[in-house]
Structure 1
């Protein structure tokens, strides 16, 4: 296995150099880590030996606060022990507060669940932090408890997101609702009932995307554009709100905003607006998810210490882009200038999204999707296996200018017979990409 991996790494390096002569080894300040850390002593030793220096520690809100006004102190003690173990091992920690795992009592609050344009409610979806004042109040109190219980020492970054995957955006178009479901149709966004402070209600209450009329009049492109800007803007504003709450609590470190896919491409958006968001020019379902990265990254760039965390390095779009002629998966130095003018339809998601982030002046980190047959990884029959992701994704992170790569997931590195990867394999990848320290 490891011999084959070494051959594959050498082949990968040859391919990258042949396709992108600007690719260089990882800079000294780049760090390699894992997602889903357990902070178990034996694992920390093996990870450290592999060259891992950062771990993502996930929390679960539903376990932390299983009841309103109640904290599970056994769970808090478990989390504190894990965090201390990682700190003592010299690992930097990326903390995931777990707002995307809300307890049932939060989902039961007024407006605590998103409502779709077709009347649906997302299954197993996170709390409604985009519009609901009650859900935001509960989340703010939870974050304050976490800050008090755990502190921020040794925390390299904190992740913020708005959907069930912990990423930026609304649920997918059919996540528990009807096909092509948009998710801003509760009382708060539509009528201002229970609306969070500082959040704007719909500029067209009652209008449903795809409808050619509103209040008996034809809908104009300008009105559709205004509605879209509100819909997509509201979700990034929810991420900004979380960042603001963390700063109020005294956190001054980096903030990671996980994103997946490419969002709505510029040419597709123009066509979609002309069609009243009726489903045209929507190949990735990004319209329903409210993903307009060019505009949203501009908002995030107004805040200090924010990194875009691309969660799909070597996803299925990279596989397809690698098969294009010429190949379209590699990040190039010219991408930042060309991303808004070139035909980017065949670019890999990581290439396009990284270029937008760099253009906005945001930091960049990344991670591979994880096992293609696992939930929330976006896997398909075309997806690379986990072993193939380990061979390619870290190299993409380097050439796209990312400062951190997180492998998904720690568990898989310690179940080689099932996953096909190990800490020794990860070690070889890191040694291949990272130059030895200068003395």
Structure 2
């Protein structure tokens, strides 16, 4: 049985890039100025039936995505046939000579997860999320740990090169859309707040309402972003304990909230906005542990932000809190942040049928289409790995695999 499953839609990227797109130029993206060497190319949700053809044509990285729902359809009842199929897919890609990246699929939970107490995020208005709350709920984390241990027992992690890290309940390191999602019982310093997290510094306060002072709002905003750091570190601990010794891609989409916007949001008492998604990438990456196996990952290359500009040779001289960065694309911005904190960089294009990206742009085979633009951004910003999202669209007539292979070979 071949495992093939698409990543869930990412509506938050529309929010994260909207301001940048609105302010950016519509001019074509600049050509590559600092081309990357030794870049590896892959696809997302790689089809094992195509893996040998792809490997022969320079697509050396395969990605396999798990589904928690399929792996553990009932609590403590694991689908061994499904997990065996995942292992077979990993083995098939390895046999073709490709490295393997593993997506954990925690954002595709089984229904029983929501029968557990405090299993959903709650925002400042009391609204509950559709996503499982693996950020603030230690008991839910323990259920996910049991699932991942079963995965590791079936899938040889020594045959996996890279693991993709998210916030657990979402497909990237984000909170859900539309609000600040730290108002469930545990986020308010309840009994199952993960012990690795600092206590909520202002559990009686609400974004948009008066704070005692700006320092209190700042402390809460930093704690809110730090909670995403904690859920990433939790996954790092799990996989270290399971014996994984590869590297980790930390999935971050869009421009998000840059330093000046973050400061403005704090000064204004944290009004509704992009910060609710937790997407303050400068702050987030600055808080990650310093270790050699983390990779900053742009999960929205060629998303239309910043006119889809690439990186320039003097970008490192531009301060992170400069007004100049406000016109940059998500790819250029996250690349700058990654270099600030000594992280390598990888990423994927924005994907097919996303609300923030026209389908015609995705399908455009010219030098101004998404494929060409994404590869220019990846090369100019020094990616070490680029994935096309998704493998299926390269073979179903949406775009051409031959075009992808030709651009890889031509370095364009």
* TM-score in same-fold range (> 0.5): yes
TM-score, length-scaled by structure 1: 0.83
Decide whether the 8 Å contact of 1:370 with 1:386 is kept in 2: no
Any idea what the Cα deviations from partners look like across 1:41-86, whole Å, max 9, x if unmatched? xx11321232100011101011000011100122112212211111
Q: Does 1:23 align with 2:15?
A: no
Higher relative contact order by CA 8 Å / sep ≥ 6: 1 or 2?
Answer: 2
> Of 130, 133, 136, which aligns to 2:135?
130
Q: CA–CA distance in 2 between the matches of 1:45 and 1:315?
A: 30
Structure 1 segments of 4 or more deviating over 3 A?
14-17, 380-383
Equivalence for 1:59: 66
The DSSP-based 3-state class of the residue aligned with 2:219 is helix
Equivalence for 1:365: 346
Q: CA–CA distance in 1 between the matches of 2:210 and 2:321?
A: 30
Q: Does 1:202 align with 2:209?
A: no
Q: Does 1:426 align with 2:404?
A: yes
Decide whether the 8 Å contact of 2:196 with 2:230 is kept in 1: no
Any idea what the Cα deviations from partners look like across 1:410-437, whole Å, max 9, x if unmatched? 0001111xx1x12111111101118xxx
**Offset, 1:380:** 4.1
Equivalence for 1:412: 393
**Offset, 1:341:** 4.4
The DSSP-based 3-state class of the residue aligned with 2:327 is coil
Decide whether the 8 Å contact of 2:133 with 2:169 is kept in 1: no
> Of 371, 376, 384, which aligns to 1:395?
376
**Offset, 1:342:** 3.0
Equivalence for 1:243: 236
- Gap change, CA 1:151 and 1:300, over 3 Å in 2: same
> Of 292, 301, 305, which aligns to 2:293?
305
Q: Does 1:233 align with 2:226?
A: yes
- Gap change, CA 1:163 and 1:64, over 3 Å in 2: closer
CA root-mean-square deviation: 1.9
Q: Give the gaps of 5 or more residues in structure 2.
A: 1-27
Decide whether the 8 Å contact of 1:189 with 1:200 is kept in 2: no
Equivalences for residues 287-298 of structure 1 within 5 A: 287-298=275-286
Equivalence for 1:176: none
**Offset, 1:207:** 1.1
Q: Does 1:379 align with 2:364?
A: no
**Offset, 1:143:** 1.4
Q: CA–CA distance in 2 between the matches of 1:386 and 1:355?
A: 29
- Gap change, CA 1:55 and 1:265, over 3 Å in 2: same
**Offset, 1:382:** 9.3
Q: CA–CA distance in 2 between the matches of 1:208 and 1:383?
A: 42
User: Which is further off, 299-308 or 65-74?
Assistant: 299-308
- Gap change, CA 1:254 and 1:383, over 3 Å in 2: farther
Decide whether the 8 Å contact of 1:50 with 1:426 is kept in 2: no
Decide whether the 8 Å contact of 1:163 with 1:171 is kept in 2: no
Q: Does 1:98 align with 2:105?
A: yes
Any idea what the Cα deviations from partners look like across 1:260-304, whole Å, max 9, x if unmatched? 01221111111111110123xxxxx42111122112112225233
- Gap change, CA 1:399 and 1:380, over 3 Å in 2: closer
Q: CA–CA distance in 2 between the matches of 1:161 and 1:341?
A: 26
- Gap change, CA 1:111 and 1:304, over 3 Å in 2: farther
Equivalences for residues 323-342 of structure 1 within 5 A: 329-342=309-322
Any idea what the Cα deviations from partners look like across 1:342-393, whole Å, max 9, x if unmatched? 322211111111100111101110110111x2xxx45245983243211110
Q: CA–CA distance in 1 between the matches of 2:258 and 2:342?
A: 19
Q: CA–CA distance in 2 between the matches of 1:112 and 1:139?
A: 12
Q: CA–CA distance in 2 between the matches of 1:429 and 1:242?
A: 35
**Offset, 1:402:** 0.8
Decide whether the 8 Å contact of 1:156 with 1:254 is kept in 2: yes
User: Which is further off, 394-403 or 377-386?
Assistant: 377-386
- Gap change, CA 1:382 and 1:141, over 3 Å in 2: closer
Decide whether the 8 Å contact of 1:39 with 1:86 is kept in 2: yes
User: How many pairs are equivalent?
Assistant: 380
Q: Does 1:169 align with 2:174?
A: yes
Q: CA–CA distance in 1 between the matches of 2:37 and 2:329?
A: 23
**Offset, 1:396:** 0.8
The DSSP-based 3-state class of the residue aligned with 1:146 is helix
Q: CA–CA distance in 1 between the matches of 2:40 and 2:404?
A: 13
Structure showing greater Rg: 1
Q: CA–CA distance in 2 between the matches of 1:207 and 1:220?
A: 11
Equivalence for 1:154: 159
Q: Does 1:37 align with 2:14?
A: no
Equivalence for 1:88: 95
Q: CA–CA distance in 2 between the matches of 1:335 and 1:141?
A: 44
Q: CA–CA distance in 2 between the matches of 1:260 and 1:405?
A: 14
